[in-house]
Structure 1
Amino acid sequence: MESSFRIAESHIGGDVVAELNAASEVDAARMLSHCLDVPRWIEEVLQHRPFTDAQSLRRTIAHAAAPLTEDEIRRALAVHPRIGERPGGEDVAARHASAEQSGVDISGEGIEQRLRAGNLAYENRFGQVFLIRAAGRNAEEVLRALGDRLGNDRQTEAAVVEHELREIAAVRATGSLEP
């Protein structure tokens, strides 16, 4: 069972696609649940195994179970901390969030306060945590996106959140920002 978590936890070394292809259905589902915990999405991704390469896995991640329902999005958002807040705990979700947000340096002048205020404004407007693929982005990029997205209507924002969830899942599954 340890190897089944290696992909979802670290993305370091090995051939992620080969490991996902070789895993049992149960282990592969567990790996994918750490990427996007939506059972319908997991089932559809599993139906496309074996994957020929990381790009085919990323394509499947991007299109499986589209669109996600409001309930599926709520379920997926439940494990994501606010941007700029380091999650507590040692579970896989906490380790992912910490790694993904590591480039978002909140120590700059006013960054933490701006993120806190932006998160609150977003939650008041949309009734959910602000979600963005933080991996590969710095604090200013996150703040700019947060400000822009506060102007979205609910339908537009729902589509953006779904896209961000899929991007996060792809990074978690492949360990890469590369398309």
Structure 2
Amino acid sequence: MTLTEFNALPPQDADAVLTRCLPVPRWVAAVRDGRPYAAWPELEARASDAAAHLDDGELDDALAGHPRIGERASSPAHHAEASAREQSGVDRSDAQVARELAEGNAAYERRFGRVFIIRAAGRSAPEVLAELDRRLGNDDATERDETVRQLREIALLRLREVAS
């Protein structure tokens, strides 16, 4: 869809498109209500600013939209098509990669109490695993900030795919 088409969507259709990018009602409303956008940079700035800070409930909502890295989407909230496309650089058929991701995901969830999220698009499995390992050393506040940054990057990537 073009930016012009996105600008012309009825509010409920725009909400559906935006929710697939970041399932946070406040963010969806902020981006929707900023229409019409003259060009992608204006839309990107509004979307980025609105996603810069997520409260705890919004963070939970956003994370519910993502499967574990290296796993297939198992919930309708996971947006299977986008997740599969974004994780295409992670070879699930490689038994060692699958094992390392499962172990890393489990360690991360024990450490931080939430699913590990990373903008996987454009990253290989070794890059994802290195980031997972590095982020396990973060303190809680630093990791929460990184999680929000990654969610924002994913939202902007998805938004660009649907409205550029």
Per the normalisation by structure 1, the TM-score is: 0.84
1:149-164 alignment, distance < 5 Å: 149-164=135-150
Once structures 1 and 2 are overlaid, which stretch shifts more, 105-114 or 137-146? 105-114
Match of 1:106 among 77, 92, 116: 92
Cα contact 2:66–2:78 (8 A) shared by 1: no
Specify the alignment match of 1:115 in structure 2: 101
SS in 2 for 1:19: helix
1:86-105 alignment, distance < 5 Å: 86-88=72-74, 93-105=79-91
User: 2-side partners of 1:81 and 1:91: how far apart?
Assistant: 9
Structure 1 or 2: larger helix share? 2
SS in 2 for 1:64: helix
Q: Within the alignment, does 1:76 sit opposite 2:75 as a pair?
A: no
Structure 1 segments (4+ residues) deviating >2 Å: 88-92, 106-109
How many residue pairs end up in the alignment?
162
User: 2-side partners of 1:91 and 1:75: how far apart?
Assistant: 10
Which structure 1 residue ranges, 5 or more long, are not aligned? 1-13
Q: Within the alignment, does 1:24 sit opposite 2:10 as a pair?
A: yes
User: 2-side partners of 1:20 and 1:92: how far apart?
Assistant: 22
Residue type at the aligned position of 2:93: S
RMSD (Å) for aligned C-alpha atoms: 1.8
Specify the alignment match of 2:161 in structure 1: 175
Once structures 1 and 2 are overlaid, which stretch shifts more, 19-28 or 103-112? 103-112
Which structure 2 residue ranges, 5 or more long, are not aligned? none
Cα contact 1:106–1:139 (8 A) shared by 2: no
Question: Percent of pairs identical after alignment?
Answer: 46
Cα contact 2:66–2:77 (8 A) shared by 1: no
